[in-house]
Amino acid sequence: MPMKRCVLQIRVTGRVQGVGFRAYVKARADEMGVFGWVRNLPDGSVLAVAVLSEERRSAWIEIVRRGPPGSKVSALDVRDLPSEEMPGWADLREFRIERDDV
């Protein structure tokens, strides 16, 4: 029986830009076999979208909440995305840092 997967969107606010937050999230995703992406947003927050097994959902949220040394997460907005809101999610095979103009 295949593992049930979910798509999570997490918006992270606090001191999360300029502290290695995206690299930290990518490294943890690579370790856990999580696919998706992370990017800085113009308002100073970070947005991460992850495809992962249901079993890893809670652990993933805690990893993002913890953040790297030097970060200070003040809030997480966690949302389960229906698959139709993220076309192609089932085809993701990596986790990447999306570059931005922030």
pLDDT(92) > 80? no
Bridge partners of 97, per DSSP, are 38
pLDDT(83) > 90? no
- Could you confirm whether 65 is annotated as catalytic? no
Domains of the chain, first to last? 15-85 (3.30.70.100)
Bridge partners of 73, per DSSP, are 14
| Annotated active-site residue in 40, 93, 96, 99 | 40
pTM of the predicted model, to two decimals? 0.89
- Could you confirm whether 57 is annotated as catalytic? no
Question: What is the sign of the dihedral through the CA atoms of 85, 96, 91 and 8?
Answer: negative
How many helices (H) and strands (E) in the chain?
2, 5
| Annotated active-site residue in 5, 15, 22, 99 | 22
Confidence tier at 85 by pLDDT (50, 70, 90): low
For the segment 68-82, the average pLDDT, to the nearest whole number, is: 95
Confidence tier at 93 by pLDDT (50, 70, 90): confident
pLDDT in tens, 22-63: 999 999 999 999 999 999 999 999 999 999 999 999 999 999
